[in-house]
């Protein structure tokens, strides 16, 4: 035995140039687990819920398997099932029956918030309210326009603050402005504080890019713009500095949490934003990203569960403190720990 080992040794140190076999630590699951650098739990996943005012609009969402537009009543049943699946964070999207130019009608979503709140305490579930105008406005834009067709920023900020106050008064745990209008975080923070909601956090969509990946969502939220697009207020995909500046400003204006969107195409920004602001930065795995994985799986090109986990780990590796995903309710089935 000794002889053979000796024979295997190189005769001279000159020849000692071992191949760096990185595969050694990839060989078994225990070894892969040993050197894994990312991990997360179900408590770091956020599940979107779409709430419709008109029961006739309640149906499955094209492209997002496992997600449906819910009536207030079916949202209760969904909440029960999701809590059972270990979801603790929810992001609510109101889908009103009627659209208006200025005077919006959020009563149905406020009643839904109150309904859900009575079912789940703040310790059981966190309800974030997506706060934007595009599902309310007749033209489907995230801002209001004046008579000349220009953005009416003061009126936009007033309208956003009005919605946020209604949501907070109804029992929302947090406000999540997704509109990308200048000054919204400051306007919301001031309004919330003045109304006694100073402990209601703001999760700002701080780096939200104009993207082709929002398609299934726009169908679900009935929020596609009727004219033009959103490039006048969302960030250009080429504008990294803008994304960093937008996030820094949200932090300066009092945001508690920041977010990049779409998640996978913003991987280069998550950690830099967190480092620059000192805030936790989440990633929104948007509807097009989720739908793409579902379509790959449907065509037999990928295993959906494995692809979903892979995408979450990539976002986490990129620095995401939390992940908003249409598959949050699958977390337990995928083997994620509760916390």
We find the least distance from the C-beta atom of residue 167 to Zn ion, in angstroms, to be: 15
Per rule CB under 5 A, is residue 132 in the interface with Zn ion?
A: yes
Per rule CB under 5 A, is residue 134 in the interface with Zn ion?
A: yes
CA contacts within 13 A on the Cβ side of 236? 5
- Of 87, 142, 176, 192, which lies in the binding site for Zn ion, with binding defined by CB under 5 A? 142
Closer to Zn ion by Cβ: residue 110 or 160: 160
The Cα-based distances of 205 to 92, 262, 263 in angstroms read 14, 10, 11
Closer to Zn ion by Cβ: residue 75 or 134: 134
Count of CB atoms within 10 A of residue 15's CB? 7
The distance of Cα 41 from the centroid of its chain, to the nearest Å, equals: 16
- Element holding 116 (H helix, E strand): helix 107-119
With contact defined as beta carbons under 8 Å apart, do 164 and 131 qualify? yes
Closer to Zn ion by Cβ: residue 144 or 273: 144
> Looking at 32-40, 137-145, 181-189, 286-294, which segment touches Zn ion (CB under 5 A)?
137-145
With contact defined as beta carbons under 8 Å apart, do 41 and 328 qualify? no
- Bridge partner residues of 323 (DSSP): 45, 283
226 assigned to active site: no
Binding residues for Zn ion, rule CB under 5 A, total: 3
> Looking at 2-10, 45-53, 83-91, 135-143, which segment touches Zn ion (CB under 5 A)?
135-143
We find the least distance from the C-beta atom of residue 287 to Zn ion, in angstroms, to be: 14
Name the active-site residue from 42, 261, 316, 329.
261
We find the least distance from the C-beta atom of residue 201 to Zn ion, in angstroms, to be: 20
Per rule CB under 5 A, is residue 92 in the interface with Zn ion?
A: no
We find the least distance from the C-beta atom of residue 130 to Zn ion, in angstroms, to be: 8
208 assigned to active site: yes
Name the active-site residue from 208, 230, 316, 329.
208
- Element holding 69 (H helix, E strand): strand 69-70
Q: What is the DSSP string of 142-195?
A: SS-B-TTSSB-HHHHHHHHHHHHHHHHHHT-SEEEE-S--TTHHHHHHHHHHHT
Closer to Zn ion by Cβ: residue 86 or 263: 263
- What are the residue numbers of the active site? 208, 261
Residues at the contact surface with Zn ion, assessed by CB under 5 A: 132, 134, 142
């Amino acid at each position: 035995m000794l002889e053979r080992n000796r024979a295997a040794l190189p005769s001279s140190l000159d020849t000692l140039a071992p191949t760096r076999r990185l595969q050694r630590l990839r060989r078994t699951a225990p070894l892969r687990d040993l050197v894994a650098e990312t991990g997360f739990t179900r408590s770091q996943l956020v599940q979107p819920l779409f709430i419709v005012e008109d029961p006739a609009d309640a149906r499955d969402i094209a492209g997002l398997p496992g997600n449906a537009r819910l009536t207030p009543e079916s949202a209760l049943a969904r909440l029960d099932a999701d809590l059972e699946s270990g979801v603790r964070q929810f992001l609510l999207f109101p889908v009103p029956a009627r659209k208006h130019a200025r005077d919006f009608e959020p009563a149905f979503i406020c009643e839904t918030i109150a309904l859900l709140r009575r079912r789940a305490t703040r310790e059981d579930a966190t309800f974030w309210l997506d706060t934007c105008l595009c599902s309310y406005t007749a033209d489907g834009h995230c801002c209001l326009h004046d008579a000349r067709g220009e953005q009416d920023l003061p009126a936009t900020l007033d309208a956003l603050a009005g919605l946020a106050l209604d949501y907070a008064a109804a029992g929302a745990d947090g406000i999540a402005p997704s509109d990308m209008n200048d000054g919204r975080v400051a306007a919301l923070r001031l309004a919330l504080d003045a109304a006694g909601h100073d402990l209601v956090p703001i999760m700002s969509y701080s780096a939200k890019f104009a993207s082709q990946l929002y398609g299934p969502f726009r169908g679900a939220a009935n929020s596609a713009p009727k004219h033009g697009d959103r490039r006048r207020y969302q960030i250009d995909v080429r504008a990294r500095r803008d994304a960093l500046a937008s996030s820094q400003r949200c932090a300066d204006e009092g945001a508690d949490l920041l977010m990049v969107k779409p998640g996978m195409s913003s991987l280069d920004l998550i950690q830099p934003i967190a480092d620059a602001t000192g805030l936790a930065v989440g990633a929104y795995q948007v509807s097009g990203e989720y739908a793409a994985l579902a379509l790959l799986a449907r065509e037999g090109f990928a295993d959906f569960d494995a692809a979903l986990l892979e995408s979450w780990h990539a976002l986490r590796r990129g620095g995401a403190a939390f992940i908003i995903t249409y598959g949050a309710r699958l977390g337990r089935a995928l083997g994620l720990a509760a916390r």
